Structure 1
Amino acid sequence: MNIAALTARMHAIRDHNDWRRYQSPKNLAMAASVEMAELVEIFQWLSEEQSRQLSPEQLAHAGQEVADVVLYLLQLCSELGLDMNQVVLDKLADNERRFLK
């Protein structure tokens, strides 16, 4: 996944629709949270086993919601001046240090 290319494509959509004024860090974080809630909704009331055996329709829907979350987080990183690759690598290294003892 090329983060810079994905971010550029999202910026093109944002700029074409004049959405920059709405895409503050606060609004992007809230939008990502809303999309995450939509992902959670797919699994609501499913058993552990059912959550591992989604129908093709549920799986496609989950993929759409995961993509929505990721795209909002890309925009958020851009607005905050964060390098998504680096923050993810830093967090993964932290988790390895903490949990692979």
Structure 2
Amino acid sequence: MEFADLQHRLRDFADERDWHRFHTPKNLAMALAGEAGELVEIFQWLTPEQSRAVMDDPRIAEQVRHELADVLAYLVRLADVLDVDLLSASADKLRVNEAKYPVELARGRADKYDRLRDECE
């Protein structure tokens, strides 16, 4: 499925159920946060090693796939309602991050961008 197809299917799904009136930016953002929380819950008490292996358990793997799909669906709906081109916005943000985190300063480091330059000067 292409990205635009997903966006249209989600819009049609909402419209067919007369849900577009509930799909306000506020409600969609809250639903997105809730679904992200459900994804986080799967990983909450796992060790780093266990978290890397979640897809090895078919039951947990299905939960992860479903929660990821829910997060994506609400993100796509929110972008659609706000008329945001997610792919373009993502490309723009990647350019911003490339400037904030130049390879020569950020490689192998998890520091926030404002600390990279301070520690390297």
Instruction: State TM-score, norm by structure 2.
Output: 0.79
Equivalent runs, 1:16-95 vs 2, <5 Å: 16-54=16-54, 55-95=57-97
Q: Which structure has the greater CA radius of gyration?
A: 2
Q: Percent identity?
A: 44
Partners of 1:38 and 1:17 lie apart in 2 by 24
The aligned length equals: 101
Deviating 4+ runs (over 2 angstroms): none
RMSD: 1.1
Q: Which runs of 5+ in 2 are unaligned?
A: 104-121
CA distance in 2, matches of 1:76, 1:13: 14
Mark the runs of 5 or more structure 1 residues left unpaired by the alignment. none
Q: Relative contact order (alpha carbons < 8 A, sep ≥ 6): 1 or 2 greater?
A: 1
1:96 to 73, 77, 98: 98
Q: How far apart are 1:57 and its partner, in Å?
A: 1.5
Structure (1/2) with the larger helix percentage:
1
